[in-house]
Amino acid sequence: MIIPASNIGELNDLHQQNHTIQYANLKNDLELKGIDPEALVKQLIDYQVAIPSWALGAGGTRFARFSIGGEPSTLEEKIKDVGLLHQLTQSAGSISLHIPWDIPEDPLATKELASSYFLAFDAVNSNTFQDQSGQRHSYKFGSLCHQNPTVREQAINHNIEVIEIGKKLGSQALTVWLADGSSFPGQHNFRKALDRTAKSLQSIYQYIPEDWAMLIEYKPYEPYFYSMVIPDWGTSLLLANQLGDQAYTLVDLGHHLPNTNIEQIVATLHSQGKLGGFHFNDSKYSDDDLSVGSIKPYQLFLIFNELVFGIDHNPQNNPDIAWMIDASHNLKDPLEDLMQSLDQIMIAYAKALLVNQSTLAEAQALNDITFCQFILNEAYQTDVRPLVRESRLRNGGALYPVEVYRKLGVRDQLIKERGKESKASGL
């Protein structure tokens, strides 16, 4: 659905006076520090995050789903939901499809529908971690790493099909997340499993179009609990380096053991020109898929700080990163959850843009640790929300997206349209 611009305008008007004062105050503060607020607003407007097609329904836990009602049950409805998110936040300009959960029947029509909501197609995601009905060979014991070449071939062919679908939609990246692993010592020969995986990835890589990237995601455990074939960024980078220039590592915030220094991983990969994709979520323990910024907002800021520095200092020509939210759980309205997540991403990014990198470099050179920390604190503790709101407002978005969504009764309308029992495909 599309909300009439006048409705958003009227609800923005309720806050306009306060917003004007708050923005003017922040603008003044920033200018006194020699920061150009207009340049920041522009950077925020340009920053877009992809929404995955599987995040629009209530799902996410391994145990139960509690439908929120009005969930999108077709790809078209999912595109409409992302269109709505983008309209309100002006920061969700693309959609990332998961195949085979969302196969477009008529790719051209799907592409046109997405464009009508000002959406592009981001990376396409393959799925060899579950069996689909009618599938010939099971992935129970692995896919690209499987000991049986016939199973590997099936998984390779699936990835090639995903590339073909992505080509028709205008995607420019394939994300491979491999669930392959073992749950018991002795189940896998580590070396052979990795070697078979590398060869399978090579077979897929040959089909990657010239202007595409292949993104290799890693995860330390789950669904298998003793070993994963690609458990960490080192293994992913090793595979990406073996594959070639178009292969990159993808960092998912939830795919680390507790307390891992993710900002350092991001810095290292980016410095090598090998950071291709980034999945946002948050976690208390590991792959909890909680709303971005809900648990560790300071970590998110530190990650953005490394990214902002890396994008400004990029000798290895790390390409533009594919940003995506990869979170889904079963308590909140998924659309509200995504709006909150997008807001937190923009806030963390805006704060990182405030870090005075040259003063920080000087303080680092002097080993003035107190001042180094002060510089980060100054940025992190600045209330940048007026900047983020201003960036939404400039493009016709909502000052307060969740409020608009609630006041206009969007979920009720979706329930009326789609029913209480409608269910989105996915986990």
Q: Which stretch binds Mn ion (CB under 5 A): 302-310, 323-331, 337-345, 346-354?
A: 323-331
Interface pick for Mn ion out of 81, 102, 180, 326 (rule CB under 5 A): 326
- Asked if 98 is part of the footprint of Mn ion (rule: CB under 5 A), the reply reads no
- Asked if 279 is part of the footprint of Mn ion (rule: CB under 5 A), the reply reads yes
End-to-end CA distance of the chain: 24
Nearer to Mn ion, 44 or 55 (CB): 55
Q: Report in angstroms how near the CB of residue 97 gets to Mn ion at its nearest.
A: 14
Q: Report in angstroms how near the CB of residue 249 gets to Mn ion at its nearest.
A: 12
Nearer to Mn ion, 252 or 306 (CB): 252
Is residue 118 within 8 Å of 84, Cβ to Cβ? no
Is residue 241 within 8 Å of 233, Cβ to Cβ? no
Is residue 176 within 8 Å of 216, Cβ to Cβ? yes
The DSSP-derived string for 35-81 is: --HHHHHHHHHH---EEETTSSSS---SS-----SS---SHHHHHHH
Angle at 149 between CA 123 and CA 205, to 5 degrees: 30
Q: Report in angstroms how near the CB of residue 126 gets to Mn ion at its nearest.
A: 12
- Asked if 219 is part of the footprint of Mn ion (rule: CB under 5 A), the reply reads no
| Residues numbered 230-269 forming contacts with Mn ion, rule: CB under 5 A | 252
- Asked if 306 is part of the footprint of Mn ion (rule: CB under 5 A), the reply reads no
Nearer to Mn ion, 41 or 95 (CB): 95
Residue 332 parent element (H or E): none
- Asked if 287 is part of the footprint of Mn ion (rule: CB under 5 A), the reply reads no
Is residue 95 within 8 Å of 110, Cβ to Cβ? no
Q: Which stretch binds Mn ion (CB under 5 A): 75-83, 89-97, 300-308, 321-329?
A: 321-329
- Asked if 122 is part of the footprint of Mn ion (rule: CB under 5 A), the reply reads no
Q: Report in angstroms how near the CB of residue 288 gets to Mn ion at its nearest.
A: 12
- Asked if 282 is part of the footprint of Mn ion (rule: CB under 5 A), the reply reads no
Which candidate, 238, 181, 245, places its Cα nearest to that of 211? Answer: 245
Q: ω into residue 223 within 30 of 0, thus cis?
A: yes
Number of residues that bind Mn ion (CB under 5 A): 3
Chain residues in the site for Mn ion (CB under 5 A): 252, 279, 326
